[in-house]
Amino acid sequence: MVVMPTLTDIAEARRRQAPEADYGALKSVVCHLKPEARSDRDLTDEERTNLTTYLKYKTIAPHERGQFHVPGFTLHRRGFVHLPAMTGTGGKEMDHSALQGRFDEIEDLIVKGDRLWSIFTLRAKHVGPIYGRPATGKDLAITEMCCLRFEDGKLAEGWFLGDEVTICRQIGIDVKVPHVSAALPPAEALPAPGGIPGQDAIAARQGPGTDYGKLKSVIARRAAERRTKRDLTAEEQTNLDCFLHYKSAKPAERKLYQTATYKGQRRGIVHLPEMRGTPGQELDHGALVGRFDEIEDIIVKGDRLWCAFTLRAHHVGPLYGMPATGRTVEMLEYCAMRFEGGKIAEAWFFGDELGLALQIGIPVGGQAGR
């Protein structure tokens, strides 16, 4: 059940994330094991300007946000892409007239150079048709994250990832016939699983020791990449190297790169296990062989590292109630991490669960929202 904040809670959230807020006073999803150590002293003048712009951007109505965009602002990915495609509104913005009193509560953010990444919870009342569902009057709380690049203190590029399964569950959208997997050939008609196409080249590009500026970026398409290894402190380089080792290791070996007190604050896949009656269940790597994670973008600041990546693997065993399809599946996922002594101390993950469900035919029920 979604627990919405009270008016007092929202007032406090607005105060906490006002444009003049101290960087260290903002919420964080990965500071449970250690008191928050961030402060405005950690920011350059450019970073402070970009943070202030973003906080102002979050205080106004969505239709007014264009004033904070550069001419030619590029949106590379919307937060919600699957549900619009399934309801014939692909490529369109969410209808904000259907969401009354929208307020985005910032759950965490990280600022580095011309980049700002943020996790936030979109809160609003459902008062109009959205993705084929008429108004329910329900209070919604939808997790979303964004990667932004700034030019002269304004937003130049953006990339978003939203929790579409939450929308289904909260307002009662039933996804019974996957529009992707239903069109694919049966598993027995596919070749036996092999390596992920292009995996060796990708692994070489993001291997330990890779220069920070050589890693992929989802928001560097309008300007030449400015990141370099020189942008990192010794601590940040150590943390980046640890993460790249972690990503190149097999899932069973990843504990080598975590502290003894490591805490996972959120799994990447949370809704599908709950709907199958196995809440808290880890992703069964026995059902996904040859897993390989391609880094799509990354940002490193102090003891924090955030990464967007695409998980690819062969589906060879039962997964959340669905039998093996033999297909190569892929899922966008995002993580926020905090390091201690060069190892991962805390982590928070968020995956595109509806994207995965559509690929292998997992029915996503909206009964929880009814």
Tens of pLDDT, residue by residue over 145-198, are 999 999 999 999 999 999 999 999 999 998 865 444 444 444 444 445 557 778
Q: For 320, left (φ over 0), alpha (ψ -120 to 50), or beta?
A: left
Distance CA 112, CA 149 (A): 10
Helices 353-360, 164-171: inter-axial angle, 10-degree rounding: 80
Cα distances from 325 to residues 159, 186, 189, in angstroms, run 30, 7, 10
pLDDT, position 297: 97
Chain position carrying tokens 């799509």: 296
Indicate the pTM of the whole model.
Answer: 0.92
pLDDT, position 43: 95
Mean residue pLDDT of the chain comes to: 89
Which tokens go with 151? 């030019």
9 falls in which pLDDT band (50, 70, 90)? confident
Distance CA 109, CA 117 (A): 5
pLDDT tens-digit map of 28-52: 999 999 988 889 999 999 999 999 9
Strand (E) or helix (H) holding 286: none
Radius of gyration of the chain from Cα atoms?
Answer: 20
Return the amino acid letter for 163.
D
pLDDT, position 87: 85
Domains of the chain: 7-171 (3.10.450.50), 181-361 (3.10.450.50)
The DSSP-derived string for 103-152 is: EEEEEEEEEETTEEEEEEEEEEEE-S-BTTB-----EEEEEEEEEEEEET
- Please, are residues 145 and 350 in contact by the beta-carbon 8 Å criterion? yes
Average pLDDT over residues 363-369: 64
User: b/e string for 65-78 if b means 16 or more Cβ within 10 A?
Assistant: eeebbbeebeeebb
Task: Please choose, from the candidates 53, 133, 151, 24, the residue with its C-alpha nearest in 3D space to the C-alpha of residue 87.
Answer: 133
Distance CA 131, CA 366 (A): 13
pLDDT, position 341: 97
Average pLDDT over residues 284-296: 90
67 falls in which pLDDT band (50, 70, 90)? very high
pLDDT, position 194: 58
**Within 13 A of 181's CA, how many CA atoms are on the CB side?**
26
**pLDDT of 363 over the 90 cut:** no
Which tokens go with 274? 């709950």
pLDDT tens-digit map of 316-326: 999 988 889 88
Distance CA 304, CA 120 (A): 17
Average pLDDT over residues 320-337: 92
Lowest-confidence pick of 75-84, 299-308, 358-367: 358-367
Distance CA 33, CA 263 (A): 8
- Please, are residues 285 and 315 in contact by the beta-carbon 8 Å criterion? no
pLDDT, position 96: 85
Distance CA 19, CA 49 (A): 10
pLDDT tens-digit map of 255-278: 999 999 999 999 999 999 998 888
pLDDT tens-digit map of 80-129: 999 999 888 888 888 889 999 999 999 999 999 999 999 999 999 999 99
pLDDT, position 325: 87
